[in-house]
Amino acid sequence: QKEVEQNSGPLSVPEGAIASLNCTYSDRGSQSFFWYRQYSGKSPELIMFIYSNGDKEDGRFTAQLNKASQYVSLLIRDSQPSDSATYLCAVRNFGGYQKVTFGIGTKLQVIP
Partner 1 sequence: SAVISQKPSRDICQRGTSLTIQCQVDSQVTMMFWYRQQPGQSLTLIATANQGSEATYESGFVIDKFPISRPNLTFSTLTVSNMSPEDSSIYLCSVETGQETQYFGPGTRLLVL
Q: Which is nearer to partner 1, 5 or 75 (CB)?
A: 5
Instruction: With contacts defined by CB under 8 A, name the span among 19-27, 42-50, 56-64, 71-79 that binds partner 1.
Output: 42-50
Give yes or no for residue 104 binding partner 1 (CB under 8 A).
Answer: yes
Provide, rounded to whole angstroms, the least separation between the CB of residue 112 and partner 1: 26
For 13-46, the DSSP string reads EETTS-EEEEEEES-TTEEEEEEEEE-TTS--EE
Give yes or no for residue 40 binding partner 1 (CB under 8 A).
Answer: no
Give yes or no for residue 43 binding partner 1 (CB under 8 A).
Answer: yes
CA torsion angle 102 34 7 93 (round to 10): 50
Give yes or no for residue 42 binding partner 1 (CB under 8 A).
Answer: yes
Q: Which is nearer to partner 1, 17 or 27 (CB)?
A: 27
Binding mask 78-97 for partner 1 (x = CB under 8 A): ----------x-x-x----x
CB 75 within 8 A of CB 61: yes
CA torsion angle 108 100 48 73 (round to 10): 50
Report how far residue 19's alpha carbon sits from residue 41's, in angstroms, rounded to the nearest whole number: 22
